[in-house]
């Protein structure tokens, strides 16, 4: 009888503690080593532990058909002139997927390539993600396609397809150029949407974030929403009472589990790019798809707090004006 009372008292508390730890894992300053933890010991995915992350490629998603067509080239020109360490990094434009003008055959082609698909083709969600959906903690995402494979929103489909195609092109370009597998782990992609706002302070903050970023990460979101970073701002305010400014660091790398931020600027490791493609097709809004992969433990995602690359909040491109 006593054991039943103890279990009834401590059981719910233990379950709550396990859920909290799963949702808000303890993160060290070097972000741990998810590669080793997941058993990915291949030399293709195992960068040197002490090696600092260095961005090797910049790709800007280019809305070549719209009034935004000059923004992508402008970002590459800005980086070449005042991008600091990124000034010497190759910056290329990747043509965005113009979903609003895409013929039916182009949508079918994306489905056949496992870039996007209806929700019925999605990877099954785990129990924990289902629980978060059921409790209303994780917001429902709008599907990209209905079951008849028609677009729900051309803008959402265009963004999702552009992300997957750009990352896929980056990984396959290494194969085409003959980059040895052992060297691919040292390559890191900065993927930028063409409505990004770049500043010299932001580039300096990005360099500070790279100083503490473990090479075994998968993806880092660089454009954080205010509500995502609210807890970190509270912690910073509390720390300001006890630590001098010279001891405090910024930006912080915050693990994404229950939520993700905007996709304006994303940093991918080669391992992260491979993981992204292995979990395709995308079936829902791409930022919430990233969130669900992180919740499931399939994608090691972090977000910089505060924002490193901002957004100009331009409306999503749907048609030529």
In this structure, what CATH number is given to the domain that contains residue 182? 3.90.550
Q: What is the average pLDDT across 136-162?
A: 88
**Looking at the domain assignment, is residue 22 inside a domain?**
no
Range of the domain at 104: 44-309
Q: What is the pLDDT of residues 17-32, one digit of tens each?
A: 444 444 444 343 344 4
In a domain, 18, yes or no: no
313 — pLDDT class (breaks 50, 70, 90) = low
pLDDT in tens, 218-261: 999 998 776 667 555 555 555 555 555 554 455 788 888 777 77
In a domain, 290, yes or no: yes
Residue 281 domain flag: yes
Question: What local confidence, expressed as pLDDT, does residue 242 receive?
Answer: 54
Tell me what the pLDDT averaged over the chain comes to: 80
What total number of domains does the chain contain? 1
**What percentage of the chain exceeds 90 in pLDDT?**
51
Task: Report the first-to-last Cα separation within the chain, whole angstroms.
Answer: 74
CA distances from 6 to 15, 16, 19, 161, 313 (A): 14, 16, 20, 52, 54
- The interaxial angle of helices 270-278 and 154-177, nearest 10 deg, is 130
- Residue 239 CA to residue 246 CA, distance in Å, equals 12
Residue 182 lies in a domain: yes
Average pLDDT on 122-132 reads 80
User: Is 9 a domain residue?
Assistant: no
Q: Is residue 224 part of a domain?
A: yes
Q: Could you give the CA distance from residue 303 to residue 305 in angstroms, rounded to a whole number?
A: 6
């Amino acid at each position: 009888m006593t054991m039943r009372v103890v279990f009834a008292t401590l059981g719910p508390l233990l379950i709550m503690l396990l859920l909290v730890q799963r949702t808000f894992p303890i993160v060290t300053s070097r972000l741990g080593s998810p590669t080793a933890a997941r058993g990915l010991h291949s030399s293709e995915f195992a960068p040197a532990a002490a090696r600092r992350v260095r961005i090797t490629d910049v790709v800007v998603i280019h809305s070549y058909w719209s009034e935004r067509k000059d923004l992508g080239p402008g970002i590459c020109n800005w980086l070449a002139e005042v991008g600091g360490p990124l000034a010497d990094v190759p910056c290329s434009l990747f043509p965005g997927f113009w979903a609003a003008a895409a013929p039916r055959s182009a949508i079918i082609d994306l489905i056949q390539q496992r870039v996007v698909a209806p929700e019925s083709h999605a990877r099954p969600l785990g129990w924990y993600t289902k629980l978060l959906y059921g409790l209303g903690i994780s917001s429902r995402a709008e599907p990209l396609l209905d079951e008849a494979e028609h677009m729900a929103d051309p803008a959402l489909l265009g963004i999702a397809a552009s992300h997957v195609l750009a990352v896929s092109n980056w990984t396959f370009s290494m194969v085409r150029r003959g980059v040895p597998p052992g060297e691919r782990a040292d390559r890191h992609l900065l993927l930028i949407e063409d409505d990004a706002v770049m500043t010299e302070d932001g580039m300096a903050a990005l360099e500070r974030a790279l100083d503490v970023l473990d090479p075994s990460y998968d993806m880092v979101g660089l454009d954080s929403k205010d509500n995502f970073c609210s807890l970190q701002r509270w912690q910073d305010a509390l720390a300001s009472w006890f630590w001098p400014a010279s001891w405090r660091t910024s930006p912080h790398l915050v693990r994404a589990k229950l939520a993700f931020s905007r996709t304006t600027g994303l940093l991918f490791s080669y391992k992260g790019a491979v993981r992204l493609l292995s979990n395709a097709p995308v079936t829902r809004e791409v930022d919430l798809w990233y969130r669900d992969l992180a919740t499931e433990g399939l994608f090691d995602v972090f977000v910089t707090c505060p924002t490193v690359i901002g957004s100009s909040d331009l409306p999503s491109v749907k048609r030529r004006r």
